[in-house]
């Protein structure tokens, strides 16, 4: 489950069509990769990687998926069979 969350969050893309800085940014909740396709000087093909944001994304999704797994494992199997 953690790997699926991580892959989906890392590959999520946002397009920014600003006139002098047209680019795609990847990642959620932190944008870790930017692919610039045009600038005020003309077309470009520039990739920028932010390793700190990539690491933070991995930590956030690892903690979130671990918390979900522990919460899911601790719930009763059927409704009405919980301990009192």
56 in any annotated domain: yes
The average pLDDT across 20-48 equals 92
Report yes or no on 25 lying in a domain: yes
- Please tell me the predicted confidence (pLDDT) of residue 81: 58
* Mean pLDDT calculated for residue range 17-35: 91
Is 16 inside a domain boundary? yes
User: Which residue range is the domain that position 42 belongs to?
Assistant: 2-68
For residue 77, name the pLDDT band (cuts at 50, 70, 90).
Answer: low
Identify whether the C-beta of residue 15 lies closer than 8 Å to the C-beta of residue 71.
no
pLDDT in tens, 38-73: 988 889 999 999 999 999 998 998 898 888 888 888
Q: How many domains does the chain have?
A: 1
Does 53 reside within a domain?
Answer: yes
pLDDT of residue 80: 60
Using the CB atoms, write b or e for 31-59: b if 16+ within 10 Å.
Answer: bbbbebebeeeeeeeeeeebeebbeebbe
């Amino acid at each position: 489950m953690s790997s699926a969350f991580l892959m989906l969050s890392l590959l999520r893309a946002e397009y920014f069509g600003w006139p002098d800085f047209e680019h795609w940014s990847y990642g959620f909740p932190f944008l870790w990769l930017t692919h610039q396709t045009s600038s005020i000087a003309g077309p470009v093909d520039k990739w920028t990687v932010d390793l700190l944001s990539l690491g933070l994304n991995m930590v956030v999704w690892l903690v979130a998926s671990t918390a979900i797994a522990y919460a899911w494992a601790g719930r009763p199997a059927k409704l009405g069979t919980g301990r009192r």
